[in-house]
């Protein structure tokens, strides 16, 4: 078993850990640090329940080896709130009843945070109508396409899209 000494900024806190080089970022968060917001759904990168932000970009933590993200800034659902106030997307998910069982919700919210940043930076999606436009309109089809990597087995998609539309407006 090979171990590496890794340093992370996780939710604004510095963590220095000795970790088996085969450890996924998801297992590091859940098993080593007790941050259980990111869920292990499929463990194959297909459901998005484990979505976190790595250096500001959304990623499936189940597919990311922790050793590959030494010195990275990681944000999980636990780190989105500021000064005890929920992130606007967290509040919108509650307001729009955008969850049922809640299992996928942390990944949905982290993915939406990353998606809003990508759209704000002008990154087009497959359905972006005008890729030369300075600003991307985040209408329902655009949001659905951008969030397609996150599965909700309860089927709360309409409310998830409404919550994201509310925040992006």
What value, to the nearest 5°, has the Cα angle with vertex 71 and ends 66 and 72? Answer: 70
Q: Mean pLDDT across the stretch 57-84? A: 96
pLDDT surpasses 80 at 138: yes
pLDDT (tens digit per residue) in 148-159: 999 999 989 999
pLDDT value of residue 142:
96
How many whole angstroms separate alpha carbon 64 and alpha carbon 44?
A: 11
Helix (H) / strand (E) element for 26: namely: helix 25-27
Q: Are residues 34 and 13 in contact, defined by beta-carbon separation less than 8 angstroms?
A: no
Q: What is the pTM of this model?
A: 0.95
Instruction: List, in sequence order, every residue forming a beta bridge with 73; answer none if it has no partner.
Output: 9
Give 109-132 pLDDT, tens digit per residue: 999 999 999 999 999 999 998 888
pLDDT digits (tens, 9 = 90+) for 23-46: 999 999 999 999 999 999 999 999
Q: What are phi and psi of 77, to 5 degrees?
A: -55, -35
């Amino acid at each position: 078993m090979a171990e590496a000494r890794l340093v992370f900024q996780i939710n604004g806190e510095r963590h220095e850990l000795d970790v088996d080089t085969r450890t996924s970022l998801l297992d590091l968060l859940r098993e080593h640090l007790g941050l259980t917001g990111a869920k292990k759904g499929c463990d194959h990168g297909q459901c998005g329940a484990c979505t976190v932000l790595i250096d500001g970009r959304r990623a499936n933590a189940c597919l990311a080896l922790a050793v590959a993200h030494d010195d990275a800034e990681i944000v999980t659902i636990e780190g989105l709130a500021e000064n005890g106030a929920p992130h606007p997307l967290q509040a919108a998910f509650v307001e729009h009843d955008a969850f049922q069982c809640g299992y996928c919700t942390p990944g949905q919210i982290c993915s939406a945070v990353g998606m809003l940043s990508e759209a704000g930076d002008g990154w087009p999606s497959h359905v972006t109508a005008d890729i030369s436009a300075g600003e991307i309109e985040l209408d329902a089809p655009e949001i659905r396409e951008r969030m397609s990597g996150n599965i909700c087995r309860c089927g709360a998609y309409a409310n998830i899209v409404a919550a994201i539309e509310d925040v992006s407006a």
